[in-house]
Structure 1
Amino acid sequence: MMIYFLCAIILLMGCSVPPMYNKDYEPPSKGLLPYLQKGSMANFSNQGYSVLLYDAEEIGTGEQVKLLQVLNPNGESVRDFSEDMTKLMHLIVVSRDLQFFSHVHPDYEGEGIFRTALDLPYGGDFLFVTEFIPDQKGITVHKQWVRGEGEPPSIMDLAVSENYVETVGQVEFQLSVHPSFKELRSGEMAMLVFSYRDADTGEPIELEPYLGTGGHCVILDETANQYVHVHAVEGMSSSGSVMFHAEFPAAGIYKLWGQFQLKGEVLVVPFVIQVK
């Protein structure tokens, strides 16, 4: 149906049909296809919603517990939430230097309040990104910096990965990019492909769905100002590889975390790339 739809638009515009090409290796950066692809990506705005953060201690465990209250633009507690990728809220926490990364799913307690246990590894500044769908308004993203107690570590410079192979658990992942790492440019659609295999034997393995899809990929620039969260493109992923479509908002150095699942365990695969 999509092919017929595209052809109909081309005919109505009075244009000739362009030559065929392999979109896996020559991804278009302009035109109707990227427009349709971007239409499936989240519009990352807080839409006037806010998230208040409270600290508490869970009795008897000593674990640090975070209470989050979601307020609508009028300052009232939100009571209507819809699931996004099987969860009512996604909380992503990263340290200022992007060395620490955590993706958790707070439990909803009603009256706009969520609760989660979260153990920050050290002191310093941490970016808290909350994603949720309130009042059927679509995906809403709220970002805030939180100061963790304790001594912060020395800030590490973010260095571009020397190679794009990383072993996590028993899985070896290799990242490839189309069009290529040297041709990654801001404002243009890129395809990120995570290929994977058994790290010991090199044999194929099968990953499990994670949060309703083949994988998630969170992307932040080195200042943590530019934020992208994309999901696997199921129709263009296959056994042994997971593909993501992403567009980098500005030039710079970015860190990305691919997230996958094997035998119930979430595997987080980090890489650092350069975008022109």
Structure 2
Amino acid sequence: MTKTRWIATTTTTLMLTAALIGCSTNQQVAQDNHSAGSHAIDHTDSQDHAAKPTELKPVWQFSDEHPQARQDTQVKFQLLDPTGSPLTQYDIVHEKRLHLIVVSADLNYFNHLHPDMQQAGLFTQTLNLPRGGRYKLIADVTPTGQSASSYGQWIEVGGDELALKPIQLDTDLTKTVAGQQVTLQFDRAPQAGQETMMTFHFADATTQQPTTDLQPYLGAIGHVVALSADAEQYLHVHPMEEKGSGPDAMFHIEFPKSGLYKIWGQFQRKGEVFIAPFVIRVP
């Protein structure tokens, strides 16, 4: 019978060496300590989350040491406490214990997933990535009694690769998505290290009438993920007013460093989740 070989990573790319652990049928090479960059931020509680606790150790495991594009690959994630035991208690934040963000190196691919905790402390998710190349996985969790934390891992995916297309600055911050005219606005020009109010304004793309029937997505009017162009600065923010239905969704956000950032706003209307992406420059 074929045995699944689980590989846990030690660096920012998937390693190719394996070491048999005890008499287990699984194989691991070690554990990853690489963080996602900037910690997650959630302003629904009117406070910034502190950096993740250093005593917790992340472990990423993959069912295939050579993941291939357009083929299912299982990824598992867990945190170990200082004794090496799996952490089993996590707060539910916006209806989920873990938010898994997956992006390609050029940020043209984005997915926001919610792995199940199938056994104590071990989250499992099936990935099926569209093309070969580098991808970053970011696990966003809140261990019970501690601050929100994010843990990142780069992986290499085999298969046909498209030429990387670096993100381009949006000169027009109005886009049409899912029949909605979505405009991104700021109360003042974003500056690194300074908090600003970011507003998504929605109107019907045909009639221009303000949209007032947005539906809750994961318990809120919307969610926003932002990443720097190198995918090292990560922010996950939630709205100021969770129960709204439009036409505005407002978020406090503070960009940690200067540079280009890609912003993905996720919203729901008529039972369909849609994403409004924008690229801005932060001086």
For normalisation by structure 1, the TM-score amounts to 0.78
Number of residue pairs matched by the alignment: 233
**Does the C-alpha gap of structure 1 residues 210 and 41 become closer, same or farther in structure 2, counting only changes over 3 Å?**
farther
Q: Gaps (5+ residues) in structure 1?
A: 1-35, 57-61
Which structure has the highest helix share of the two? 1
Q: Which residue type is aligned with residue 192 of structure 1?
A: M
| Superposition pairs of residues 222-233 of structure 1, within 5 angstroms | 222-233=229-240
SS class of match (1:245): strand
Q: Which residue type is aligned with residue 63 of structure 2?
A: D
Kindly state the Cα deviation for residue 44 of structure 1 after the two structures are TM-superposed. 4.4
**Does the C-alpha gap of structure 1 residues 109 and 218 become closer, same or farther in structure 2, counting only changes over 3 Å?**
same
| Superposition pairs of residues 24-35 of structure 1, within 5 angstroms | none
1:43 match: 50
RMSD over equivalenced CA pairs, Å:
2.2
Decide which moves more: 43-52 or 90-99. Answer: 43-52
1:15 match: none
Structure 1: how far apart are the matches of 2:241 and 2:204? 22
**Deviations 1:32-81, CA, capped at 9 Å, x for gaps:** xxxx999523334364330322226xxxxx74332323323433212222
Higher relative contact order (CA 8 A, sep 6+): 2
2:23 match: none
1:101 match: 110
| Superposition pairs of residues 175-214 of structure 1, within 5 angstroms | 175-179=184-188, 183-205=189-211, 206-214=213-221
| Superposition pairs of residues 252-271 of structure 1, within 5 angstroms | 252-271=259-278
| Misfit runs of 4+, over 4 Å | 36-39, 235-238
Q: Which residue type is aligned with residue 60 of structure 2?
A: L
1:241 match: 248
Kindly state the Cα deviation for residue 257 of structure 1 after the two structures are TM-superposed. 0.4
Kindly state the Cα deviation for residue 253 of structure 1 after the two structures are TM-superposed. 0.8
For normalisation by structure 2, the TM-score amounts to 0.76
What percent of counterpart residues are identical?
Answer: 34
Structure 2: how far apart are the matches of 1:249 and 1:64? 33
| Superposition pairs of residues 138-157 of structure 1, within 5 angstroms | 138-157=147-166
**Does the C-alpha gap of structure 1 residues 235 and 120 become closer, same or farther in structure 2, counting only changes over 3 Å?**
closer
Q: Gaps (5+ residues) in structure 2?
A: 1-42, 65-70
**Does the C-alpha gap of structure 1 residues 269 and 65 become closer, same or farther in structure 2, counting only changes over 3 Å?**
same
2:79 match: 70
Q: Which residue type is aligned with residue 89 of structure 1?
A: L
**Who wins on radius of gyration, i.e. which is larger?**
1
Structure 1: how far apart are the matches of 2:137 and 2:168? 23
Structure 1: how far apart are the matches of 2:111 and 2:53? 21
Say if 2:123 is the partner of 1:120: no
Decide which moves more: 102-111 or 237-246. Answer: 237-246
